[in-house]
Structures are given as C-alpha cells and as structure tokens.
C-alpha cells in the first residue's frame, strides 16, 4: 500500500482489505528501514500513530468514517503538535514540546488522520535545499547525492519514498512547490489566508502559507478540503467559504486559456527542464487549451524584494526566542542581556543569523525607506503584474525551478542559493496560489511544472493539475528506494 | 549601499545576537553580496506606488479587546526553562 494515493488507501480501508493499524505498522516499518538514508523525519510518533489508527478503525467499524479517516500522513515540524517535540529544524526549539495543536493539526486530527511524525526542514523554514536543518540534511529519494529542496524537503522526501501518502508543508517563497518539483510529487501553495497560520511557527508572516503535499492533485484536493477555512485565531485568515475542491477535478479543459510568462523561459533555465515544461504544455493543448505568451515585467525584482521583506519580518518574529519563556537557554548568563545574546547565538544556525542580521539592518534607522518601503512598493508592482495577466488568461504555467535538484553541498554562496526560487518567490509576494506537478525528468531527477492562478482559484488549479495527471503518468513514477524496499 | 563591519556589529546588538569580531567579518561578506543584489530595487522608479504590506491588500483585522480564552498559565509554563510561583525566572538584573 505504500505507493498508493489517498483515494486508493481510503478505498482499501472501506473495502476492509487493510486496516488503518496494519497500514500504519507497515509505514512505520518502512520509516524504520529507509529513513536512515533519507533523514526525512525529525520525530516519529509510533505510539500515538498506532493509537490514532485504532481509533480510526473503530470509527470505520461504527460507520462514522469521513473522507480521510485512518489515512496516515506526516506533518512538517513547523506546525505545533500538542505533546510532541516541535523543533522547526532548530537547536533553539530542540527541547520544545508544544503545549497546543496548530489549527491545521487539530483539523486533521478531527478528520481521523494518523500522523506518523514530524518531518525535517530547513531551520525556521529558511532554505531552498534542506541543508540548513539542525538535524542534518535530507536526501532526495530519487538520487541520494541530491538535495530534496527546501524548506519542506522532509515532507517531500517522505512522500516520494513511500513513507507516507501525504504530508503538510509550508511555503514562504516556494518551500512547498520547489521540494515537490525536486522530489516528483504534487504540492499546492494555497492563496495567502486560505489555510490558518495559527500554531504554524512564523518565519515571514505576510508570506507564510501552509498547504498539502501528496502524490496527486486529487489527494491535495482532499487534504485542502480539510485544512482550508477561516480561523478566528489567525487575524490574517480570510473569512470566505470553502468550496469542495474535489468536485471540479473532472471538469474538461477545453477553452482553458494558458499564459506562458516569457520571463520564466529565459537565461538560466536548464535545457532539460525547459523541454519537459514545453512538452507538458503540448499535453494541455491536446486537451483543448489554448496557449499564449504573457509578460510579468517585474519578475527579476521578486528575489531582491523578498530578501528585504522576509528577513525584516523574520527578524521581528524570531525576537521571541530570547531564552526566557521557552526554547534554548545558555548556561550561567551574567545578566539579562547576556542571557538574550548567548541563548540566541547558541540556538540559531548560520542562515537564520544571516537573515536576522539583514532584517535588523534594513529596518534600522536610516535604512528603512531605501530597503523596506522600496521593497513593499515593488511588491505592489509584482502583484499588479499577476492581476494584469489574469485578465488575459485563466492560468499561468512555467517551470517550478530553473534546474532539477542540485547536488548536496554544491551551492555555497547564499545569493546563488536564493536564485533557486526565482520562479516561485513572486507568487508569495502577490499572495496567489500555485501548484507544482511532476512533468518529466532530467536524468533520474524529476522536473516540476508550476501552474498559477488568481487569488482563491485553488479549485481551478487542482482541476487543471488533475486533468494533466489523467493524461500523463509522471506522478505515478516511483524512485528506486521506494520500489527496492517494498 | 556598501555595508561596514561596524554596521554588522550594530545589527547584531540590536538583534541581541552575540557576535564576535571574527564572526561579524564572516557575515559581512555574505550580507554585502545579498545587499548588492537587493540594490537592484533602486533601478525601479516607484514614485507614487503605494507600499503593499499584505498580499491581499487588506488592513489588519482587529477584534474586541476581550478575554476569550481561559487562563492556561500552568500548562504553557511547562515548557519554560525555569519558573517559580507562576513567574519566569531570569538572571538578576538589579544588584
């Protein structure tokens, strides 16, 4: 069952060919055997998982099963989970056992899902390769010498390797879509505010958004049905009705207008990635869609704007880690300032410190207008680019990443690493939704097609992605590590 | 806008991060490169463009200043490094 979709698993649970306990035991065994090579989990919660599986089996026996009852999954370690270590990939929170559940965790728990544990991630979600975790790098299941992408790389690797059918991730500048592309799975970043951020450890509050990562668009729709919706505990959550995201999956694509941003097909795009994306576009044309070129003229300013806004927000959000109330505290501080400074210096890793320093500098007296205000003005221009494009076309398509997964340790300087997110980052600045779906390979490393829509167009994106997955089999391919250890 | 060594140390102090001179030199190179990249923003004319702080162009929603949840101090303090009588213990700051 380890390579099945949620839909298939629910079918098997309904038919009684397997119980949730048997499935959970099987996947826990796979984690035990395989995760030593992948490092995709920070914490495995076997005991709680088996207990939840038993409850799910009981609910099913009582005729009380919902669409996700008994389905195993994993949760990025950025989501607070009551009674379970919630580290956010950081030494700072290595001793933190969350006293409450994030809203999405509560919703998944109420839906009867079975969490197998917390997945590895770049520290405080800062990274594009998953090499910044206090718990060590995650390996790409398709090629153990490659990165899985970041910062939701643990979630992506766990799904790709058949350790879980689905996982939760978060996306601040591409952290769901980029690892989904690198690991050959489907990942959806919803519209900003569509999914509650309550209990999701904050990196950059105006950009962070949680979302599903799974083997298919249909599975992402099932998960989004459960986790989307207004939350009074999150003041950035949008009060708007949640449609049934599974309902429109089968709608035909005839008449769909696709825009190809010319800025997404220029210098720096790997030839294999471009070939895969252009081949994918032909599939959509064969399904009745029309294609035209569009322009997003401020695309090249997205990364500079992001690296002002995100570190500025991070420097504020991470000020709460001061050694006083929770998290790491240094030994024998001489006074309160020493407590703050040494606890933070010992608890944070290099990339986090770098971004705190940038954010603090750009917000400091004399620099605010030149950096922060300017970046916020550019952010508006980037948003206008997208809204203008969506007046002409229904969706935008392009590569999720400029290259396939790169080698572990290969990208040394921060600016080169930041450029990995060139096609994903603007979407967060604009708050629109985006999905990455498997669309081919470069050698043995997967390529992701990114599909973008206007605000709250998740149902349309899932429909478009699902129709692509009905016409292709890229999402059905599995890495050797998953097959050899079946 | 070139970054000076002293500015890195100043930011570290403002951020309450312990940073040695040697570490500051290491970050100076990286942050300098990043700020060079960020300086591309200055090429754009943004006169009369209103800053956008919220991606939905929304203003912060406020709620009534009322207690809506029960006191859970003891529960939340279970993860604190040191507490006493419901208070967080920190080093003495006044002799």
- At B95, list the tokens: 């002799």
Task: Provide the residue ranges of all domains of chain A, joining segments of one domain with +.
Answer: 6-251+461-482
CA dist A153 and A290 (Å) reads: 34
The model's pLDDT over A429-450, given as tens digits with 9 standing for 90+, comes to: 999 999 999 999 999 999 999 9
Does residue B1 carry a pLDDT above 80? no
Does residue A261 carry a pLDDT above 90? yes
Does residue A325 carry a pLDDT above 90? yes
Helix axes B5-14, A350-363, angle to 10 degrees: 100
Number of domains forming the structure of chain B: 1
* Catalytic residue, candidates A19, A76, A118, A436: A76
pTM score of the predicted model? 0.97
Q: What is the mean pLDDT of residues A34-52?
A: 98
Ordered strands of the A41-44 beta sheet? A41-44, A114-119, A72-76, A166-171, A209-214, A186-189, A434-442, A445-452, A395-399, A257-261, A290-294
Range of the domain at B26: 5-42
- Averaged pLDDT of chain A: 97
CA dist A209 and A226 (Å) reads: 15
* Inter-chain residue contact B72 with A99, CB threshold 8 Å: yes
> What DSSP letter does each residue of B45-85 carry, written as one string?
--TTPPP--STT-PPPP---S---S---HHHHGGGSS-EET
Instruction: Evaluate whether residue B29 is within a structural domain.
Output: yes
Q: Which pLDDT score is estimated for A362?
A: 95
Instruction: Evaluate whether residue B55 is within a structural domain.
Output: no
Instruction: Evaluate whether residue B21 is within a structural domain.
Output: yes
Q: Which pLDDT score is estimated for A486?
A: 53
* Inter-chain residue contact A374 with B37, CB threshold 8 Å: no
Residue % of chain A over a pLDDT of 90: 95
Least reliable range by pLDDT among A44-53, A348-357, B49-58: B49-58
Q: Which pLDDT score is estimated for A485?
A: 56
Active site residue A196: no
> The dihedral of CA A70, A47, B78, A334: what is its sign?
negative
- Picking from B40, B52, B62, B66 by the largest number of A CB atoms within 10 A of its own CB, the best residue to mutate is B52
Q: Which pLDDT score is estimated for B93?
A: 81
Q: Which pLDDT score is estimated for B59?
A: 84
> For B33, what's the count of Cα atoms within 13 Å in the CB-facing half-sphere?
15
Instruction: Evaluate whether residue B23 is within a structural domain.
Output: yes
CATH 3.40.190.10 fits A6-251+461-482, yes or no: no
Sort out which chain A residues have CB atoms less than 8 A from B46's CB and list them: 374, 377-378, 381
Q: Are A409 and A361 in contact (CB under 8 A)?
A: no
Q: For residue A348, report the phi and psi dihedrals to the nearest 5 degrees.
A: -95, 145
Helix axes A302-317, A350-363, angle to 10 degrees: 100
The shortest C-alpha distance from A335 to chain B (Å) reads 5
Which residues touch B36 (CB under 8 Å, ≥6 apart)? none
| Bridge-based pairing state of the strands A186-189 and A209-214 | antiparallel
Instruction: Evaluate whether residue B78 is within a structural domain.
Output: no
Instruction: Evaluate whether residue B66 is within a structural domain.
Output: no
CA dist A478 and A159 (Å) reads: 10
Residue A71: name the closest of A244, A210, A215 by CA.
A215
CA dist A108 and A458 (Å) reads: 19
CA dist A412 and A160 (Å) reads: 26
Active site residue A457: no
Q: Which pLDDT score is estimated for A459?
A: 98
Does residue A182 carry a pLDDT above 60? yes
Q: Looking at the partner chain, which of B8, B55, B62 has a beta carbon nearest the beta carbon of A357?
A: B8
Q: Read off the pLDDT band of A122 (50, 70, 90).
A: very high
Q: Looking at the partner chain, which of B16, B34, B42 has a beta carbon nearest the beta carbon of A341?
A: B16
Q: Looking at the partner chain, which of B34, B49, B54 has a beta carbon nearest the beta carbon of A206?
A: B54
Q: Which pLDDT score is estimated for A416?
A: 85
Contact status of A380 with chain B (Cβ, < 8 Å): yes
Per the listing, tokens 């790491």 go with: A328
> Taking the CB of residue B40, how many other CB atoms lie within 10 A of it?
14
The model's pLDDT over A367-410, given as tens digits with 9 standing for 90+, comes to: 888 999 999 999 999 999 999 999 999 999 999 999 999 999 99
In the stretch 26-55 of chain B, residues with CB closer than 8 A to chain A read 27, 30-31, 33-35, 37-42, 44, 46, 49-55
């Amino acid at each position: 069952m380890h390579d099945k979709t949620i839909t298939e698993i629910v079918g098997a649970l309904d038919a009684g060919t397997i119980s949730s306990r048997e499935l959970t035991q099987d996947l826990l065994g796979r984690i035990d055997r395989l995760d030593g090579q992948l490092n995709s989990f920070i914490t495995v919660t076997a005991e709680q998982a088996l207990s939840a599986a038993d409850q799910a089996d009981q609910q099913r026996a009582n005729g009380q099963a919902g669409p996700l009852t008994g389905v195993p999954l994993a949760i990025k370690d950025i989501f607070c989970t009551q009674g379970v270590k919630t580290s956010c990939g950081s030494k700072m929170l290595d001793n933190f056992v969350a006293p409450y559940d994030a809203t999405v965790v509560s919703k998944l728990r109420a839906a009867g899902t079975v969490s197998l544990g917390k997945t590895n991630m770049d520290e405080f979600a800062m990274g594009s390769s998953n090499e910044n975790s206090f718990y060590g790098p995650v390996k790409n299941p398709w090629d153990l010498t490659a990165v899985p992408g970041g910062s939701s790389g643990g979630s992506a690797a766990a799904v790709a390797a058949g350790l879980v059918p689905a996982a939760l991730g978060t996306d601040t500048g591409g952290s769901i879509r980029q690892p989904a592309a690198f690991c050959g799975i489907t990942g959806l970043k919803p519209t900003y505010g569509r999914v509650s951020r309550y209990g999701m450890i904050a990196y950059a509050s105006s950009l962070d958004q949680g979302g599903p990562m799974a083997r298919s668009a249909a599975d992402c729709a099932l998960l989004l049905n459960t986790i989307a919706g207004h939350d009074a505990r999150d003041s950035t959550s949008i009060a708007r009705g949640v449609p049934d995201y599974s309902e429109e999956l089968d709608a035909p694509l005839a008449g769909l207008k696709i825009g190809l941003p010319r800025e997404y097909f220029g210098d720096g795009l790997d030839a294999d990635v471009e070939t895969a994306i252009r081949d994918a576009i032909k599939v959509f044309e064969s399904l009745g869609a029309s294609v035209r070129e569009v322009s997003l003229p401020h695309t090249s300013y997205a990364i500079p704007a992001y690296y002002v806004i995100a570190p500025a927000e991070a420097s504020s959000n991470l000020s709460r880690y001061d050694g006083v109330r929770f998290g790491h505290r240094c030994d024998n501080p001489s006074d309160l300032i020493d407590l703050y400074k040494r606890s933070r210096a010992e608890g944070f890793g290099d990339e986090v410190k770098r971004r705190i320093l940038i954010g603090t500098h750009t917000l400091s007296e004399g620099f605010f207008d030149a950096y922060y205000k300017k970046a916020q003005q550019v952010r508006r221009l980037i948003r206008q680019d997208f809204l203008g494009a969506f007046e002409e076309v229904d969706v935008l398509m392009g590569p999720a990443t400029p290259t396939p997964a790169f080698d572990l340790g290969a990208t040394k300087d921060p600016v080169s690493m930041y450029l990995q997110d060139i096609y994903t980052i603007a979407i967060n600045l604009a708050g629109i939704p985006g999905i990455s779906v498997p669309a081919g390979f470069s050698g043995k490393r997967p390529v992701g097609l990114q599909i973008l829509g206007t605000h709250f167009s998740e149902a349309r994106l899932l429909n478009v992605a699902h129709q692509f997955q009905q016409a292709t089999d890229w999402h059905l391919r599995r890495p050797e590590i998953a097959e050899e250890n079946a | 806008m070139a970054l000076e060594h002293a500015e890195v140390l100043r930011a570290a102090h403002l951020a309450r991060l312990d940073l040695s001179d040697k570490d500051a030199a290491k970050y100076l190179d990286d942050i300098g490169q990043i700020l060079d990249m960020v300086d591309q923003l200055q090429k754009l004319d943004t006169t009369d463009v209103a800053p956008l702080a919220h991606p939905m162009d929304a203003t912060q929603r406020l709620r009534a200043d009322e207690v809506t949840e029960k006191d859970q101090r003891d529960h939340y303090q279970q993860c604190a490094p040191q507490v006493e009588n419901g208070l967080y213990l920190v080093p003495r700051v006044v002799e």
